[in-house]
């Protein structure tokens, strides 16, 4: 009898444990179930923002600053843990103005990130890209002659190993760089490029900036690249300036080496070398002159094929004509 009561007690305890576990599981499920579609969307957007922020920081010098900020945060938590009230108060006062300090410290990186956002695929949507954009006919009329002049000039400058730096403005406006140079607003030609970049002329030391198929300014100063120490030391100042300009905008930058005469193009922070006149022309036309959207023509059935569905009268008339042709 005692053994029977003992077994019953053990069973009751196990049952209570199972019920408690089930109750805990139920509480956990009920706390998770109220998640809606907007909650999932909120989490996804936050994840994308964090991912993009980390990727931008990794590509810039802001990574070292963020590591320093992380060290300060850990130091503050340790001060609170060990009750170092004086140092904790100072650190807390520093963190109160931390947001403003971050904006000041990361001003170039934030500006660059916002510019990249403006050139993202979202702005390529029809209702956004149509604002201030031009059609293919307008772009072709502006850039056809300019591309020919650029290619002819680069070919001659390459043959004479004359250094050149040509910046082609696209969506991102280059007003800051234009203000550092001399305004020309001239129609491009092979002879004009040659006169600008000739060694003894006043405007040869700097970049030419083109807008809408015209030479807008010459002798312009360009920004430095973000990671200048990682660039090949064999590249000169023109190539470095071209990479820096392409990192800070969507411009196409053409470089002619003064030492070797090699034609290079910098775009989106990368440098591609070894262009010829034909490859340079194709590269520029593909990027500066958008293709016209092709309309699919409506195909008609061949003349010898009869339509599938015809009316009774047309069918009788067609049979009558075919019988007459057989009799003849």
pLDDT in tens, 251-308: 999 999 999 999 999 998 889 999 999 999 999 999 888 766 555 555 555 555 554 4
What mean pLDDT comes out for the span 298-326? 54
Q: Is residue 129 part of a domain?
A: no
Do residues 58 and 198 share a domain? Answer: no
Q: Is 253 within 8 Å of 223 (Cβ atoms)?
A: no
pLDDT, position 308: 47
Residue 41 and residue 32: Cα distance in Å, rounded? Answer: 16
Q: What is the pTM of this model?
A: 0.61
Its domain, for residue 167, covers 137-288
Do residues 45 and 98 share a domain? Answer: yes
Q: Tell me, what DSSP letter sits at residue 181? A: S
Residue 245 vs residues 60, 144, 280: alpha-carbon distances, Å: 15, 24, 19
Mean residue pLDDT of the chain comes to: 78
- Residues written for the chain: 328
Residue 102 and residue 110: Cα distance in Å, rounded? Answer: 10
pLDDT, position 3: 47
pLDDT, position 166: 96
Q: Is 206 within 8 Å of 217 (Cβ atoms)?
A: no
Do residues 172 and 284 share a domain? Answer: yes
What mean pLDDT comes out for the span 82-102? 81
Do residues 252 and 146 share a domain? Answer: yes
Do residues 7 and 56 share a domain? Answer: no
Q: Is residue 226 part of a domain?
A: yes
Do residues 145 and 277 share a domain? Answer: yes
Tell me which of 39-48, 93-102, 125-134, 230-239 is least confident.
125-134
């Amino acid at each position: 009898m005692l053994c029977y009561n003992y077994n019953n007690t053990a069973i009751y305890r196990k049952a209570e444990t199972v019920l408690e576990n089930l109750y805990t599981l139920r509480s956990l499920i009920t706390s998770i179930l109220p998640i809606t579609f907007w909650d999932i969307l909120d989490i996804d957007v936050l994840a994308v923002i964090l991912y993009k922020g980390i990727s931008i920081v990794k590509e810039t010098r802001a990574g070292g600053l963020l590591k320093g900020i992380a060290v300060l945060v850990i130091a503050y938590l340790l001060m609170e843990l060990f009750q170092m009230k004086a140092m904790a108060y100072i650190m807390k006062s520093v963190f109160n103005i931390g947001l403003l300090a971050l904006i000041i410290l990361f001003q170039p990186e934030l500006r660059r990130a916002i510019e990249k956002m403006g050139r993202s695929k979202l702005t390529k949507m029809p209702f956004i890209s149509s604002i201030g954009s031009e059609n293919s006919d307008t772009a072709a009329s502006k850039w056809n002659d300019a591309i020919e002049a650029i290619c002819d000039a680069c070919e001659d400058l390459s043959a004479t190993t004359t250094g050149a730096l040509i910046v082609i403005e696209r969506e991102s406006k280059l007003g800051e760089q234009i203000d550092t140079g001399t305004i020309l607003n001239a129609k491009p030609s092979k002879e004009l490029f040659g006169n600008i970049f000739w060694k003894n002329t006043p405007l040869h030391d700097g970049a030419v900036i083109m807008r809408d198929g015209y030479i807008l300014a010459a002798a312009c100063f360009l920004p430095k690249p973000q990671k200048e120490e990682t660039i090949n030391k064999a590249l000169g100042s023109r190539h470095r300036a071209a990479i820096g300009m392409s990192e800070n905008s969507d411009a196409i930058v053409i470089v002619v080496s003064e030492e070797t005469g090699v034609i290079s193009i910098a775009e989106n922070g990368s440098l591609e070398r070894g262009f010829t006149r034909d490859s340079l022309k194709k590269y520029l036309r593909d990027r500066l002159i958008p293709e016209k959207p092709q309309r699919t023509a409506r195909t008609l059935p061949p003349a010898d094929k009869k339509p599938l569905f015809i009316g009774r009268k047309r069918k009788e008339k067609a049979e009558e004509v075919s019988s007459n042709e057989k009799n003849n």
